[in-house]
Chains A and B, each alone.
Chain A
Amino acid sequence: KNQVEQSPQSLIILEGKNCTLQCNYTVSPFSNLRWYKQDTGRGPVSLTIMTFSENTKSNGRYTATLDADTKQSSLHITASQLSDSASYICVVSASQAGTALIFGKGTTLSVSS
């Protein structure tokens, strides 16, 4: 069964600290893995997209890694800011066209001052 598991479910950190979110998947065939940030009451916004051959991709203070062998990905947030408080969703695609997207339940990150 195609699944995407994220951990932790929620996380609270102090402003300025770093954190790492985890994503394990059992999706086959694999096309790409995406990380999205979803603010409360808003649609998801893309942070990174990685294909099978990519093992790291950065977007500002966000760095995603992918190990296609172990089917694991992580999202590292550096020097967290209050505005980073959101839900972070890992999405694995079995095709390029956007169909067959498997969503994780997300990690809720709270950054406090």
Chain B
Amino acid sequence: GAVVSQHPSWVICKSGTSVKIECRSLDFQATTMFWYRQFPKQSLMLMATSNEGSKATYEQGVEKDKFLINHASLTLSTLTVTSAHPEDSSFYICSAVTGGDYGYTFGSGTRLTVV
């Protein structure tokens, strides 16, 4: 079945630094990927839609300059959290539409802790 690989699975960084999270579709091409944020015991919150070869579409309230999304190929989307602050600490999850039978696969998530 379709596999979405997300890396790293966890990361700790210092305030003010930037962190890049990768999301790869391993056995299919994904023209569209999605980035979510999830707080403890909360539902997934869509941050942005990543489109291959074009600019990402951000949800209302999500800072474009803080959460940089790049989808340079059909198998890779990256989310860069710039100038990270402790309040950016969260669980970030990507997903991709796999096509056929309404397939929609999530990555394994990245736990970001900013200290």
Contacts and interface: CB of A to CB of B under 8 A. Distances in A.
Nearest to B101: A49
A101 B95 CA distance: 12
B21 interface: no
Given A42-B109, A101-B46, A106-B43, A32 B102 contact: yes
A103 to B, nearest CB: 4
Contacts of A34: 102, 104
Tell me whether chain B's interface is mostly helix, strand or loop, or mixed.
Answer: strand
Contact of B95 (A49, A51, A96, A98): A98
Interface string A52-90: 000000000000000000000000000000000000010
A105 B106 contact: no
Contacts of A44: 44, 93, 106
With most chain A CB atoms within 10 A of its CB, the pick from B43, B93, B96, B101 is B43
A93 interface: yes
Contact of A41 (B32, B46, B91, B102): B91
Nearest to B9: A41
Nearest to A106: B43
Interface in B86-100: 91, 93, 95-97
A43 B107 contact: yes
A43 B93 contact: yes
B42 A42 contact: no
Contacts of B43: 89, 103-106
B46 A93 contact: no
A46 B42 contact: no
Nearest to A98: B97
A43 B108 contact: yes
A105 B108 CA distance: 18
Interface string B1-39: 000101000000000000000000000000010100000
Interface of A: 31-32, 34, 36, 41-46, 49, 51, 89, 93, 96-99, 101, 103-106, 108
Given A93-B102, A98-B95, 9 more contacts: A41-B109, A43-B95, A43-B106, A43-B107, A43-B109, A49-B101, A51-B102, A98-B102, A98-B104
